[in-house]
Amino acid sequence: MEKNKQVLLASRPNGWVQTSDFKIIESQIPEPDEGEFVVKNNWLSLDPYMRGRMVDGKSYAKPVEIGEVMAGGTVGKVIKSKNPEFTEGQYVVGRLGWQSFSKSNGEGVSKIDPTLVPIQNYLGVCGMPGATAWIGLLEICQPKPGETVLVSAATGAVGSVVAQLAKISGCRVVGIAGGPDKCNYAKEEIGYDACVDYKANKLLENLKLACPDGVDCSFENVGGEIMDTVMHVLNPFSRIALCGLISGYNETEPYGMKMIRSILINRIKMQGFIVTDRSDLYQKALRNLVHWVSIGKIKYRETITEGIENAPSAFIGMLKGKNLGKQLVKIQ
C-alpha cells in the first residue's frame, strides 16, 4: 500500500547542515476535509532560502518547527478534492513541503498549465527563482542598454535568468561562478559576455579585467568576501539588488563587510528584497517567463536528484554549489 514519505526537521543546524538534521518517515496518505484537496507531488524544489527556515531567529518567514515537514515548493497533481476551485486531475504548484502527498485548502497554491512548459519549470525558471530574477533586476537594478551587470552565483537558478534578462535589456553581463566548468557553461550556454572564476584566486584583478568600464548593477546572491571584492569595481550611482547571502548561511559568525565605505563615496543604492513582497508583479513575471521559455528565448539547466529520501543530501550539495542551474528532486 502506498505511503506518504515525508522529510521532517529533526534538529536545528549549528554551522553546516548535516543529513542528521532531517528525519524521514512514512505516514498515511491524507484525506481531504471540506474545502480541501490532496496533491500527489511530482517534483520538489530545493532553494537556499530553506536554510534560513531551519534556524529559530528573526527573519522574513517563520522557522520550521522541530518535527514539522520541511518547507519547500512542490508541483503535482490533485488526486482527491472537496474544494470546487481545485478539481481532480489539475496540476498545481505551491509550498506544500518535502513530502510525497500534501493536503491543502488552496492558500498559496496556484493552478498551472502542463502543456506550455515541463511542469518542473514552474519551480525554477518559470517559478519563484525566475520571478526573483525578474523583479530584482528589472525593478531594483533597472538596467539601461549599454550598462554592465554583474551576477554572483552566475549559473544558479536565479543568476542564470538574471543574466538572460540583462542581455535582453541590452546590457553587457559578467558572471562570478566557482570553477572552469561553470564559467564555460555561463558563457557558452547562458550567454554571459565574461565569467570570473572565484576559485582561481586573484578575484579583484580578474574582475577589473572582465569589467574594464566598472559595474553599474550588481545582482548579489552570495555576499561575504565576494561581495566585499565587488565593491571595488562598482561605479558611482550603481545599484545593488541584494537577493541572497548564501556564503554565510552555514557560518556560525556573520562576515563583517570591509568595503561598506564604497556605498558612501560612490553613492551606491543597495536594496534587499524578498520576491513575495511584490505580489503585484509576480504573475506578470511568470507569464513572460513561461512564454520566453516555451519559444526558447530563455535557456535553463536542471540538476535532478531521484527520490525524496535523497532530498537532504541534495540540499546540502546545493548549499555547497554542486548543482548547475535549478536543483530539483523528482519525487514520483
What tens digit of pLDDT does each residue of 61-103 get?
889 999 999 999 999 999 999 999 999 999 999 999 999 999 9
Q: Is residue 256 part of a domain?
A: yes
Residue 130 has pLDDT above 90, yes or no: yes
- The answer to whether residue 249 is domain-embedded is yes
How high is the pLDDT of residue 56? 86
CATH number of the domain that residue 113 is part of: 3.90.180.10
Is residue 295 in a domain?
no
My answer on whether 108 and 137 are in the same domain is no
Task: Please indicate, yes or no, if residue 288 is contained in any of the structural domains.
Answer: no
Give the model's pLDDT for residue 170. 98
Same domain, 14 and 149: no
Q: Are residues 201 and 228 in the same domain?
A: yes
pLDDT at 248: 84
- The reply to whether 268 and 135 lie within a common domain is yes
Average pLDDT taken over every residue of the chain: 96
Residue 5 pLDDT level (bands cut at 50, 70, 90): very high
Q: How far apart are CA 294 and CA 286, in angstroms?
A: 12
Residues 226 and 318 placed together within one structural domain of the fold: no
302: left (phi over 0), alpha (psi -120 to 50) or beta: beta
Number of helical H runs and strand E runs in the chain: 9, 15
196-219: per-residue pLDDT in tens? Answer: 999 998 999 999 999 999 999 999
What CATH number should be reported for the domain holding residue 224? 3.40.50.720
Considering the domain boundaries, does residue 292 fall inside one?
no
Domain holding 102, by residue range, is 4-124+301-330
pLDDT digits (tens, 9 = 90+) for 256-266: 888 889 999 99
Residue 332 has a pLDDT of 81
pLDDT at 193 exceeding the cut of 80: yes
In which band, very low, low, confident or very high, does the pLDDT at 131 lie, cut at 50, 70 and 90? very high
- Give the tens place of pLDDT for each residue, 217-255: 999 999 999 999 999 999 999 999 999 998 888 877 888
Whether 202 and 96 map to the same domain: the answer is: no
138 shares a domain with 120: no
| Domains: count for the chain | 2
Residue 110 and residue 53 share a domain: yes
Q: Is residue 237 part of a domain?
A: yes
Q: What share of the chain in percent tops pLDDT 90?
A: 91
State the first-to-last Cα distance of the chain, in angstroms, to the nearest integer: 15
**Which pLDDT belongs to residue 314?**
98
User: Which pTM does this prediction carry?
Assistant: 0.93
**Axis crossing angle, helix 159-168 with helix 128-135, rounded to the nearest 10:** 50
Confidence of residue 139 (pLDDT cuts 50, 70, 90): very high
| Burial class of residue 303, CB neighbours in 10 A (0-12, 13-18, 19+) | middle
